[in-house]
Chains A and B, each alone.
Chain A
Amino acid sequence: MLPSALSHCLRFLVSIFALFLSFPTMAAWELNMPKGVTPISETVYDLHMIIFYICVVIAVIVFGVMLWSIFYHRKSRGYKPANFHESTLVEVIWTVIPLIILIVMAIPATEGVFAMYNYDDSEVDIKVTGYQWKWRYEYINDDIDFFSTLTTTTEEIHNQQTKNKNYLLEVDNPIVVPIGKKIRFLLTSNDVIHSWWVPELAVKKDAIPGFINESWTLVKEPGIYRGQCAELCGKDHGFMPIVVEAVEQEQYDLWIQQKQEETALRLAQAAKEAAQTWDMDRLMASGKPLYEKNCLACHQANGEGLPPVFPALKNSPVIKGPISEHIQIILHGRSGTAMAAYAPQLSDSEVAALVTYERNAWGQNSNETVQPSDVTKLR
């Protein structure tokens, strides 16, 4: 009995040990805050290190005295207890010294706060809007407006596929910013509170529905900087990363131009598609990926949702009811619920495809088709 139990134990320990060893490639063992690539991130890093060293010194002194007492002032060594229990002098000393340390610390910290709060003279203004569970970026002066969502696959998340290097920190549309320019972020939210955080930029600001917060950065080095939502925002809080690509000015200008052309092209395409009449196969084929990207997180792959917060679509009153109401809900959302308005995110043909898909998928086969023109009328 015993030897077998022992060998089980040993095998367990060995396998635990092997687990530790099996991650050498992803081992980062990162211990400290990144120094980052912006003036603010460097200020923050320096403040962090100063206060850390102060803490270390205090800890060494306090624990030193304590350990000394623990080793030498113990009964087993025959140490006789002293009887002092008060000393105004030392108590004043150890009230005043920490106060002085705190004042010395407060000076650079105050400067840091003011530096962070100086939003003047920005050259690029980006409005960042948090959505459950993606980010929307609007370049205010350049008419660029896009959404940025996680690209890590469900298979990777559910361990059915090897996880790639940027697991959970990758998006379809990163935001691109020029280096050496002051960039101002205007943050808000469409639903609950989110928080936009990129550690290397030392930018973390809450995105609050109905209010606009400001923050700024000035990236010194080109590179790709990754961050995440930092405020619990519901089910997929862990799955709405941020990717910032900092590039040289010329590259940035090129990107702006490209993005604008893309937008123009997309609009033209959307207008063209909206004018066409779509057949069932085409609607269903484009509806499925759209559903997976926009609706699946809440309403689930089988259309049964996670009731009662995320209601089922399959055989629901909305699906069985008039098409126009169905379109309205997708376009304008449902106030007082988690259902967001998709009018800014989807074109008419996309909404048409989605509605058709939702009315025919999961064995419902209503045979109803919705045309982009139906959506245009309601937009």
Chain B
Amino acid sequence: MNETTSISTKEVDTPTTEHHAHPTGISRWLYTTNHKDIGSLYLIFSFVMLFIGGGMAFMIRAELFQPGLQFIEPEFFNQMTTMHGLIMVFGVVMPAFVGLANWMVPLMIGAPDMALPRMNNWSFWIMPFAFSILLSTLFMEGGGPNFGWTFYAPLSTTYAPPSTTFFIFGVHLMGLSSIMGAINIITTILNMRAPGMTLMKMPMFVWTWLITAFLLIAVMPVLAGAVTMMLMDIHFGTSFFNAAGGGDPVLFQHIFWFFGHPEVYIMILPAFGVVSQIIPAFARKPLFGYKSMVYATASIAILSFIVWAHHMFTVGLPAVAELFFMYSTMLIAIPTGVKVFNWVSTMFRGSMTFEAPMLFSVAFVVLFTIGGLSGLMLSIAPADFQYHDTYFVVAHFHYVLVPGAIFGIMAAVYYWMPKWSGFMYNEPLAKLHFWLSFIGLNLTFFPMHFLGLAGMPRRIPDYALQFADFNMITSVGAFLFGTTQLLFLYIVIQCARGKGEPAPQRPWEGAEGLEWSIPSPAPLHTFDTPPKVD
């Protein structure tokens, strides 16, 4: 019983910059309640998952390189498409943005830490367990989840492998982590802003995360409800999704997409915030239409709750429902358009330079817009009968997620890495990383539009001969894009290890915000005394 030996009265009485003893090694990370450490943990975790999910994409693209079954059998192929989706959504994009929020929200609003630091620790440490459970299903008898990341019943209930129970448990854990993370972010933003920082003075990244966090709290319980109903159907004899027992398989889709559509905005809104920070910095000109950006983000979030059935145009909705969901979906184009126009206006008559964060942000605006426009095409219900469940949809959502969410994350990493590590990253290599990624992803995802229009369904392990050429190009592009990310890993590791120029306090000429008012690297504790914002 060596109680309180580490906290001597002397330490308590004389305030120092460090509040308490710092465990080192593994304990530092296991017990940490520091927002910067937890932010780093989230980002590292998401990076690891990126390579796992990417490895699965490699297997998918290798199998689809040519017609015929070459490397993997259909049942394993289905597990790969399912796990690739689940990991990229829940294991890469969401944790990466939570990591960025952990690092940057307190720094941007002048808070000393997150509002609920212990819960913050728990939110993170749930994740490795959740994903170990999820990944372990691949090694179980009957294999892992093989019903697509949308896990439609009854394929995911009556006809599912036994490992589905573990999948459900994993999803519950992820949801728990996300909800706690969201509560933490909201509490921090609403309570811990520096004096003088009113809501309408908050940086865009903070705004978009505030809205995202509300979306998370609203929809993660819905997902938890959906998987719990699956669990009941599988093990406890209920028939929520089984017509033979009086249930309805389509009910599952309604519940899933009521979660699923806000979920896709959860993955993109923080990226909107990131590029809204970066573009003004490198255009050396204030963000155009700050207020309308805030309102547009909020509108997108609200609309996201009334568009879910546009994922279900072919399930046999009544005509009136088709029309309602078509109109509401088309409406989303308006606030999204406002955002794009505002970014372009910010660039217009700026004084631009093109360091890596800006390159990724500019590519974000262009390619996300392409994804948005194909989304507008998909909203046209009669046309969607042709697009639905084809590679056109695959192209669409990869265009909004890869150059959207993933490029947003990469831009953020390059932009704030000097602040995190205290060193500049290798700019020429980062530019190379950008260009190879840019070429690779367009080579991968652009031909998918053609494949879908020509009639290739999604989630098939083998295809008819007329789809051979574009599939081969797509696979080559995917290998290029995937391999390029090793370069990203190298650049990040070099920068984190201090191989590079020491970073000044504010490495970007046009960058503004409280995060640039502290030294680089950011000390473990910042803003012990809140800064004053005018």
Contact = CB atoms under 8 A, between A and B. Distances in A.
Contact of A168 (B152, B289, B330, B463): B463
A213 B248 CA distance: 13
Given A73-B352, A202-B385, A211 B243 contact: yes
A233 interface: yes
B380 A109 contact: yes
B382 A44 contact: yes
B334 A95 contact: yes
A169 interface: yes
Given A95-B338, A193-B155, A234-B159, A26 B465 contact: yes
Contacts of B341: 62, 94
Given A205-B314, A228-B460, A337-B158, A51 B333 contact: no
A29 B453 contact: no
Interface stretch (B43-51, B198-206, B266-274, B364-372): B364-372
Contacts of A116: 382, 385
Interface bracket on A = 35 or more
A109 B381 contact: yes
Which one of B340, B369, B465 has the greatest number of beta carbons of chain A within 10 Å?
B465
Majority SS of interface residues in chain A? Answer: mixed
A28 B469 contact: yes
A113 B155 contact: no
Nearest to B373: A55
Contacts of A203: 385
Contact of B469 (A27, A62, A63, A210): A27
Which one of B67, B248, B455 has the greatest number of beta carbons of chain A within 10 Å?
B455
B382 A30 contact: no
Contacts of A336: 158
A215 to B, nearest CB: 9
Contact of B453 (A33, A69, A112, A206): A33
The 9 closest A-B pairs by CB, nearest first: A210-B243, A238-B460, A112-B382, A30-B454, A28-B466, A213-B316, A55-B373, A85-B286, A81-B351
Given A34-B454, A81-B285, A115-B382, 6 more contacts: A79-B350, A82-B349, A82-B350, A206-B314, A210-B242, A234-B159
Interface of A: 16, 19-20, 23, 26-34, 40, 43-44, 47-48, 51-52, 54-55, 58-59, 62-63, 65-66, 68-70, 73-76, 79-87, 90-91, 94-95, 98-99, 102, 105-106, 109-110, 112-117, 132, 156-159, 163, 165-169, 191-193, 195, 197, 199, 202-206, 208-211, 213-214, 226-239, 306-309, 335-338
22 contacts: A29-B450, A31-B453, A33-B386, A43-B382, A44-B383, A73-B283, A73-B348, A74-B353, A81-B285, A86-B291, A90-B345, A109-B326, A110-B323, A157-B68, A163-B67, A192-B155, A206-B315, A229-B457, A230-B390, A234-B146, A234-B159, A235-B74
Interface of B: 67-70, 74-75, 78, 141-142, 146-148, 152, 154-155, 158-162, 242-244, 248-250, 283-292, 314-316, 319, 322-323, 326-327, 330-331, 333-334, 337-338, 340-341, 344-354, 362, 365-366, 369-370, 373-374, 376-377, 380-383, 385-386, 388-390, 450, 453-455, 457-470, 472, 476
